[in-house]
């Protein structure tokens, strides 16, 4: 694409819900393409559906894009402010006979479809001016349809290559409804022209709309943009990604404490490959490498485990101060009353096991307070009888004698206890972890004990000795 003109692209969501992953990836790929070529990335809000479009969804979509770092150029364009413009274009198409009024009732249309064909048969296509006027004088409602000529429409998709559609496969589709409101295919063309959009990058579910829109471009004398249709994001069952696959909207990922860089990184890899083995990127790196020719034609499968891994890699890269800052944006009371160096040490211990900021919050409670409950499965498995109490008491006594409290010393005491009682170290490690945290797993036991401190560890062991073994 060395001869590519500086592109103008747009992301055009409908504000009928929160920004979901598929739409976020579409926005991202538009942004990457524009920024890679020093172009412009515009935002258009397609809010012509008055019943379903909500201001709260507009705000949420904008907020999600800003959180992801996908800043748009200029002010957003709202389709709801452009009704007069669309109606003017419809009148132009009627005047030059590129479109016509259709007075067919629902009953007539249903009868036409009874044979299994969903194409409009062109009943009103050749009405005379007198016939049209007579229908209008009688107060009949009508829609406006585009007159589809004989022939075919072809375009070169930047991802799928040449696409050719015979006009016999396209009926005279509606461009304005009976209430005068325009349809998607008309508004998209008019807006893309007025916004000087050079490249339309959207999901492959729109590929059937493209020949229709090209026909509108042609009858209006507009310059055609280039088209690129992104492969769908699929669930593990290879069906279109939806909530049933556990894929949340962008807002939910933000609320769950994912980093925007991590989510962007994962979305970029859903259908695009850098051409190298590298998988962890920040946004600027993806912009520098982005090439439309490296987008796959096959649908990309959403993989929650891969997202968690990528998120964990980004979390490991993030400075501890930044992690703490992010946690306090979610829960400003986290770690309240504890010194900053202690909070940093807690975060460092949890980094390996945390895929999101929420993970830090959920996994760190025992660093601040003793466990209120204990994992029952671990208790039954690792604290079976009174013999465990005897071993823990022996270990506790050794700990009480430790003068230099650090990870090496508490580990040495445990291994000494195990050796002197002729048991494996695991016979002490598992119940000790349970007593101190309430959980069967976590970061290094000995590092955790060193951080909690001697008094806290002894106190929690004493409490567990009063409770276990479970009756």
| pLDDT on residue 351 | 95
On the question of pLDDT at 244 being above 70, the answer is: no
On the question of pLDDT at 267 being above 80, the answer is: yes
Q: pTM surpassing 0.75?
A: yes
Q: What is the mean pLDDT of residues 286-300?
A: 94
* Sheet with 143-146: strands ordered across: 99-102, 143-146, 174-176
State how far the Cα of 349 lies from the Cα of 123, in Å rounded to an integer. Answer: 73
On the question of pLDDT at 1 being above 50, the answer is: no
| pLDDT on residue 120 | 87
State how far the Cα of 131 lies from the Cα of 126, in Å rounded to an integer. Answer: 10
User: Lowest-confidence range among 244-253, 404-413, 435-444?
Assistant: 244-253
On the question of pLDDT at 2 being above 60, the answer is: no
On the question of pLDDT at 422 being above 80, the answer is: yes
Q: Which residue has the higher pLDDT, 70 or 113?
A: 70
Instruction: Give catalytic status of residue 5 as yes or no.
Output: no
On the question of pLDDT at 289 being above 90, the answer is: yes
| pLDDT on residue 34 | 98
| pLDDT on residue 243 | 66
State how far the Cα of 195 lies from the Cα of 10, in Å rounded to an integer. Answer: 9
Q: What is the mean pLDDT of residues 392-403?
A: 96
219 contacts 93 by C-beta, under 8 angstroms:
yes
| pLDDT on residue 397 | 96
Q: What is the mean pLDDT of residues 318-327?
A: 96
Considering the chain, what percentage of its residues have pLDDT values greater than 90?
89
Q: Which helix (H) or strand (E) holds 174?
A: strand 174-176
Q: Which residue has the higher pLDDT, 271 or 113?
A: 271
pLDDT in tens, 129-146: 999 999 999 989 999 999
| pLDDT on residue 106 | 82
| pLDDT on residue 3 | 54
Listed in sequence order, the residues at least 6 apart from 279 whose beta carbon sits closer than 8 Å to its beta carbon are: 265, 269, 310
Of the residues 238, 243, 298, 377, which is catalytic? 243
Q: What is the mean pLDDT of residues 174-192?
A: 96
pLDDT in tens, 333-366: 999 999 999 999 999 999 999 999 999 999 999 9
Burial of 153 (0-12, 13-18, 19+ CB in 10 A): buried
| pLDDT on residue 245 | 66
Residue in 32, 36, 30 with CA at minimum distance from that of residue 10: 30
Q: Report CA-CA distances (Å) from 48 to 13, 64, 81, 166, 181.
A: 11, 21, 9, 30, 8
349 contacts 433 by C-beta, under 8 angstroms:
no
| pLDDT on residue 248 | 78
Average model confidence (pLDDT) for the chain?
Answer: 94
| pLDDT on residue 401 | 95
187 contacts 48 by C-beta, under 8 angstroms:
yes
């Amino acid at each position: 694409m060395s001869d590519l003109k500086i592109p103008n692209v747009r992301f055009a969501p409908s504000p009928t819900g929160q920004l979901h992953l598929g739409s976020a990836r579409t926005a991202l790929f538009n942004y990457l393409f524009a920024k890679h070529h020093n172009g412009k990335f515009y935002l258009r809000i397609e809010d012509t559906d008055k019943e379903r479009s909500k201001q709260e969804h507009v705000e949420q979509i904008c907020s999600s894009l800003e959180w992801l770092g996908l800043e748009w150029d200029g002010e957003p364009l709202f389709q709801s402010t452009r009704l007069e413009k669309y109606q003017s274009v419809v009148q132009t198409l009627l005047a030059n006979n590129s479109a016509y009024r259709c007075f067919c009732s629902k009953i007539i249309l249903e009868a036409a479809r009874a044979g299994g064909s969903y194409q409009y048969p062109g009943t009103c296509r050749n009405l005379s001016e007198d016939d049209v006027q007579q229908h209008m004088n009688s107060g009949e409602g009508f829609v406006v349809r585009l007159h589809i000529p004989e022939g075919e429409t072809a375009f070169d998709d930047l991802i799928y290559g040449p696409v050719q559609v015979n006009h016999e496969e396209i009926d005279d589709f509606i461009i304005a409804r009976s209430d005068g409101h325009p349809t998607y295919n008309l508004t998209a063309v008019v807006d893309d022209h007025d916004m000087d959009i050079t490249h339309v990058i959207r999901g492959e579910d729109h590929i059937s709309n493209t020949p229709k829109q090209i026909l509108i471009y042609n009858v209006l004398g507009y310059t055609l943009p280039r088209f690129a249709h992104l492969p769908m994001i699929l669930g593990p069952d290879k069906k279109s990604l939806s909530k049933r696959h556990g894929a949340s909207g962008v807002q939910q990922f933000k609320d769950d404490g994912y980093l925007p860089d991590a989510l962007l990184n994962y979305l970029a890899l859903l259908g695009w490959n850098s051409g190298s083995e590298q998988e962890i990127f920040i946004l600027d790196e993806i912009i520098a490498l982005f090439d439309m020719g490296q987008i796959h034609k096959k649908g990309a499968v959403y993989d929650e485990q891969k997202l968690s891994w990528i998120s964990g890699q980004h979390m490991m890269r993030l400075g501890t101060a930044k992690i703490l800052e992010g946690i306090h944006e979610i829960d400003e009371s986290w770690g309240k009353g504890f010194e900053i160096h202690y909070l940093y040490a807690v975060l460092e211990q949890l980094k390996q096991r945390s895929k999101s900021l929420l993970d830090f919050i959920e996994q760190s409670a025992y660093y601040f307070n003793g466990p209120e409950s204990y994992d029952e499965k671990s208790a039954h498995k690792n604290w079976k009888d009174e013999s465990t109490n005897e071993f823990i008491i022996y270990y506790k006594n050794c700990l009480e004698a430790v003068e230099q409290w650090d990870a090496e010393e508490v580990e040495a005491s445990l291994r000494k206890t195990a050796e002197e009682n002729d048991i494996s170290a695991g016979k002490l490690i598992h119940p000790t972890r349970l007593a101190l945290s309430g959980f069967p797993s976590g970061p290094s036991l000995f590092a955790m004990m060193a951080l909690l401190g001697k008094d806290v560890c002894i106190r929690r062991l004493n409490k567990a000795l009063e409770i276990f073994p479970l009756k």
